[in-house]
Amino acid sequence: MMKTKVGVVQMTSTGDVEANLRTVERLVGEAAADGAKLVVIPECFAYLGPENGKLEIAEELPSPEGSAPLSTPGRAATPGGPILARMGELAKRSGAQLVLGGFWEKGASAGKVRNACVHVDEHGAVRAVYRKIHLFDVDLPDGTKLEESATVEPGSELVVADAPFGKLGLSVCYDVRFPELYRGLVDRGAIALAVPAAFTLTTGKDHWHVLLRARAIEAQSYVLAAAQTGHHFGQRRSYGHALICDPWGTILAECGEGEGFATAWIDTTVVEKVRGSLPSLRHRVIGATR
């Protein structure tokens, strides 16, 4: 039996990087004081503002140990930057591992970034980097028009991180609508799934809980969903409701509307019990890998 306390952060990011990072530091500090050994931080945590701003703050990321070097031309000799350095210090100070959802990483071409999800260990080292595969290009009935692919280059690799409780599958926001990604993460050993998000209010009120619980149930895995909430630079509204869900689909902890955090225990025996008693992962026929 192994139990690990984990946390998810909910915040209202703006175009003010310094203010956003202070909020992250405060909420991660509180979650760690509550015992969390891994804390998931939402998409756009460092910056949520006019498009060009994210290009200016984008940083290069180191290749995590053991992974193939990135082939981005002209990469700096010492990757990283002030935001990654500060988050590394936060991990060390709080003693908690961090999952930095929606880290703005420099893209291969000028004018583009990647929407990365970075796993940082408690010593401040980058251990895994996932890059958002599915990009949110939509024109919703309420007038919300977003074209993520205008500034973001999509990733293509599935990434599973080594967390204190076992394997954690990485994803970002809109990815949650693509169940095949999570099945792939489970095939790579994941028992928990990180979904750092900035879900719109319009879609979130109808889809957020349903999608997250469905992913937990069908992947028979914990789901750690960090969230943006409230109004951003007078133009966008996020749904909030950061939550932690167990492999049965039960919501263990959930934030309300405002900034805050939620914590819950990951218990590996619960994963074993659910997967053992209702072996739907083993009953797969279509696309089964084992």
Ligand X SMILES: O=C(O)CNC(=O)[C@H](CS)NC(=O)CCC(=O)C(=O)O
Binding footprint of ligand X on the chain (CB under 6 A): 43-44, 48, 54, 136, 146, 148, 173-174, 177, 198-200, 203, 207
CA atoms of 109 and 60, how far apart (whole Å):
13
Nearest one of 168, 150, 151 to 159, comparing CA atoms: 168
* Cα–chain center distance at 130: 9
Cβ 187 to ligand X, closest distance in Å?
23
Q: Rounded to whole angstroms, how far apart are CA atoms 47 and 21?
A: 9
Any bridge partners for residue 97, and if so which?
38
Least distance from ligand X to the Cβ atom of residue 275, Å = 27
- Please pick, among 37, 54, 106, 132, the residue that the annotation labels catalytic: 132
Residues in CB range of 96: below 8 A, 6 or more apart: 7, 28, 31, 32, 36, 37, 38, 39, 122
CB burial of residue 70 (10 Å; 0-12, 13-18, 19+): middle
Question: Which residue reads 């109004």 in tokens?
Answer: 231
37 catalytic residue (yes or no): no
Shortest Cβ 171–ligand X spacing (Å): 11
Minimum gap (Å) between residue 284 Cβ and ligand X = 25
198 vs 270, which CB is nearer to ligand X?
Answer: 198
232 φ/ψ angles, rounded to the nearest 5 degrees? -120, 125
Pick the closer one to ligand X by CB: 99 or 198: 198
Burial of 123 (0-12, 13-18, 19+ CB in 10 A): exposed
Would you say 167 or 207 has its CB closer to ligand X?
207
Taking the complex as a whole, the smallest distance from the CB of residue 43 to ligand X amounts, in Å, to 6
Q: Residues 239-242: contacts with CB within 8 Å, 24+ apart?
A: 239/199, 239/200, 239/201, 239/203, 239/204, 239/205, 239/208, 240/10, 240/204, 241/10, 241/204, 241/208, 241/209, 242/8, 242/9, 242/10, 242/42
State the first-to-last Cα distance of the chain, in angstroms, to the nearest integer.
Answer: 25
**What residue is closest to ligand X based on CB?**
203
**Active-site residue (options: 43, 59, 105, 153):** 43
What minimum distance in Å lies between the beta carbon of 243 and ligand X? 15
Q: Which of 44, 117, 173, 245 is labelled catalytic?
A: 173
| Residues labelled as active-site residues | 43, 132, 173
